[in-house]
Chain A
Amino acid sequence: MLNAVLFLSACSKKEAPAPEFSEKNLAPFSVEFDNIVGDRTLSFNNSASLYRNSAGEEFSISLVQYFISNIKLVTTNGNSYTVNPDSSYFLINGADKGTRFAKVNVPEGDYAKLTFTLGVDSLRSTMPVDKRTGVLDPAYGGGHNLGGMYWGWNSGYIFFKYEGNSPVISDNVNGDPTGKKQFKYHIGGFGGYSASTINNVKTITIDLSAGGVAKVRKDRKSNVHLLVDLMKVFNGKNNYSIAAHPNVMFSDYSVSIAANLVEMFKHDHTEN
């Protein structure tokens, strides 16, 4: 009986024609960032069952956090909508399931393309202090050693913060002299204020047509479910070893890692 009801309702959804596109006719829409590690789910500090990258290095994860911003959608008919930047900044914290959704309001419609930014663009990275509220508040997250994403000494934000442990890390200055065998990847760099510097702001565009068009209607909660594969940090376009690069922050090498980050996002399905 329950199955039949579901079946019927699914049918009726499919047949509902897309309403006329209007920027005044907004409805809820969300993107879900479901963090995984290769073919396993994400768990923290799981030393009993370590992950293994393609270089054969075992590791555990203690922190993963990243900024998602500037969400833009394009309908099957080619109408596009950009969410107001003031309500388009999200900090996804892998340890806090409550933060896995970027929830916005967009016009009712059938969307086949999703675009977002991984990071904080230069305009937002240089704005006056009063505009830096919510997740962009430099005080947010309890400081740099905790979940803080603001970079003080080289003013800007960390876009992607990924920390963990690996037995392959040496105890000397080339690894972790504290002996905790920690790796730290703090990837940022918005392109520079007065002169151009490294730019690790990444734009990700995802075609939703294969995995499911997002049918945004007022009486539904359309959710695009993405899998975010943290293994790609090590094994994307560029392969690198944790032992060789255990700490990457504001440095030229961060560009190679940032290039991998765009490959983390895969559309799994859409819940309409």
Chain B
Amino acid sequence: MMGIFVLACKKNQPVKEEIESMFGFVKPVNFPEPEYDFDNNKVTKAGFELGRALFYEPRLSRNNTITCGSCHIQSSAFTQHGHDVSHGIDDRLGTRNSPPIMNLAWNKAFMWGGGVFDLDLQPIVPITTHEEMDESLDNVLGKLRNMPKYTGLFRAAFGTEEVSTARFMKALSQFMLMCVSSNSKYDKVMRKEGGAVFTADEREGYVLFKEKCASCHSEPLFTDGSFRNNGLPPNAIKDQGLYVATLKDTDRYKFKVPSLRNLRFTAPYMHDGRFLTLNAVFQHYTEGVQDSPTLDPLLKKDRTGIALGDQEKVKLTAFLSTLDDEEFINNPLLSEQ
């Protein structure tokens, strides 16, 4: 507050420049270096604002009804709460659960089943997918070119009015890169902020987590970004996950390890949203893991699955709730304006 007051005393133009130069991507101190190449796409205020407008723009879909935000709802940590699989254009249903737009700067690969390795190319998938937006990129750019709102936003972000694939993608990336969830109770405890401490249950749950979950859901992102088969019985459509993108037998039924952040807001769980509650997830790991040639070796060490007693589940749940980040889901900067 003080800083802003001092700045405001200066002349108008320098204030604006100063505020804009302060805007950008900041790595949380307890997070590792990001994977995304920011040298090729520095986040600016104007670029972010264009990206945000595009994220909430229904013209990205064939009949101008679906936005990115339709299936990635901020209050649900940018997932589609209550939907096992994504619900897109013309009430069509996809085959996978809408993943959170969260901490993507640290992602090496995108989609539950991989296939996309660059955030700047990711939005093409939902835009062109039949069950999601069912539109061509070419048409989207054409629609935007005809809107004065966007010619202005593109000029502000990139210097000229030109609406190109690269600019469109980079602006969307800038918005998504700023969707950082790093202010949960866990983060505050780790950063020793404001005297935050775990309760006894949370602390014991943290110990259990490190013992039983952390080898795949590694801190501080709570995923190691790898693709693994966690022993889910194949679903009705026999979705084989990573295999479809690599055609390697060793990749059959492998899906990306999801983050455990914001679980309170992101139910249902798994690539096809088959589990409605955390209890169902625990039940899977204790009793439901199905052995197969690609089952992750970590799930067949002493037994198939993970041993968890009822008390342990309670404590683990207490710890996992410290990963919920209210500031993230309520951040007005990330909302539709």
Q: Which residues of A contact B (CB under 8 A)?
A: 126, 128-130, 132-133, 137-146, 148, 150, 152-155, 192-195, 197-198, 250-252
Contact = CB atoms under 8 A, between A and B. Distances in A.
Interface of B: 37, 40, 108-109, 111, 115-118, 120-121, 124-125, 127-129, 135-139, 141, 164-166, 169-170, 244-248
Given A128-B120, A139-B136, A194-B109, A144 B40 contact: no
Contacts of A137: 164-165
B40 A130 contact: yes
A154 B164 CA distance: 22
A142 B128 contact: no
Given A128-B118, A193-B117, A252 B247 contact: yes
B247 A155 contact: no
A154 B245 contact: yes
A163 to B, nearest CB: 17
B interface: dominant SS: helix
A144 B245 CA distance: 17
Given A150-B124, A153-B125, A194-B109, A129 B138 contact: no
8 contacts: A128-B37, A129-B165, A148-B138, A150-B124, A152-B116, A152-B125, A154-B116, A197-B248
Nearest to A140: B138
A252 B40 CA distance: 35
Given A132-B166, A142-B136, 16 more contacts: A128-B37, A129-B170, A130-B166, A130-B170, A143-B139, A144-B136, A148-B138, A152-B124, A153-B116, A153-B245, A154-B244, A154-B245, A155-B118, A192-B246, A197-B247, A198-B247
Contacts of A153: 111, 115-116, 125, 129, 245
A236 to B, nearest CB: 22
A62 B86 CA distance: 34
Contact of A155 (B117, B135, B166, B170): B117
B165 A132 contact: yes
A interface: dominant SS: loop
Contacts of A146: 136
A232 to B, nearest CB: 24
A192 B111 CA distance: 16
A251 B247 contact: yes
Contacts of B115: 153-155
Nearest to A145: B136
Nearest to A192: B246
Contact of A129 (B127, B128, B169, B246): B169
Nearest to A250: B247
Contacts of B136: 139, 142-146, 148
Contacts of A198: 247
Given A142-B136, A153-B111, A153-B116, A129 B129 contact: no
A27 B109 CA distance: 44
